[in-house]
Amino acid sequence: MLFTTPLLTLLAVAAGLVDAAPKLAHRAPTKILLVSDSTAVAYDPAVTPLQGWGYYLPPLLSTSMNFTNLSRGGRSTRSFINEGLWASALALITPDTVVVIEHGHNDNGTPSTGTDVGKDRATLPGLGDATITVTNATGLPEVVHTFGWYLERMISDVQDHGGVPVLSGMVPTMKWDSAQTTLSSDWPFRDWARTVAEAQGVGWVDHTKASVARFQKLGYSASKAMFPQDNTHTNAAGALLNAESFVEAVGCNGPLSWIVKC
């Protein structure tokens, strides 16, 4: 399978050979698959106070859209693919199925070093064709690629199966400044995902920006109360906020407006 590298595609865009704006015609809504991590997982409210934003998304989507949440806790682009979860997702694609891909939380780190030992989920930062060969938890060598490379593979796979790939920026963690007045605006995985989406001419949802704005408006104390166990995972209120911010980021006048309820 061939993927166009971000650099070559961006050069083509600059030269006017490729249109940077995604061409997403209005289609008859069919179904949407969400591929993400624990921040989007639907948890049982009777078991845990945590909740992922995918739990609250269905009522906010177009009424004729069939929604399936395939998010899995602790997964990155790399481990989602390597564990066979991605192959299972691809098997569900029918023509014009929208596949929303939102990753980044677990792609951070150094492959097979430190906290990644035994987890095999860290990717190389950034874009391009850089690789590193590591010995993974199975004892076998594995070639690890950049975050952007894995996103490009996912885009290519979805398109090969007749689906519509959409990249989404990861929801923010509670990364505030020392004065607890400003939520961070520095989200590298969001920036890399956006660059890949623009270079590949696929849908982009700036979920990060929309959620940051919502939490910033609430302020530190009210926002932090929505993260009962750590700075990453929300309770029900935080999950609902992130679901609503996804719809806000899609918008009612954009190229993907047909997937949400406006």
Whether 230 is a known active-site residue: answer: yes
Active-site residue, selected from the candidate residues 26, 178, 186, 230: 230
Q: Which amino acid is at 220?
A: Y
How distant, in Å, are the alpha carbons of 6, 16, 26, 68, 124 from that of 192? 10, 21, 26, 25, 12
Active-site residue, selected from the candidate residues 38, 62, 156, 257: 38
Print burial letters for 137-151: b (CB count within 10 Å at least 16), e (below 16).
eeeeebebbbbbbbb
CA 259, CA 251: separation in Å to the nearest integer? 10
In this structure, are residues 169 and 186 in contact, taking their beta carbons and an 8 Å threshold? no
Sheet with 31-35: list strands edge to edge: 66-69, 31-35, 98-101, 164-168, 203-205
Name which of 199, 75, 74, 101 is nearest 157 in CA terms: 101
Whether 38 is a known active-site residue: answer: yes
Active-site residue, selected from the candidate residues 105, 211, 233, 245: 233
Q: What's the residue count for the chain?
A: 262
Catalytic residues: 38, 230, 233
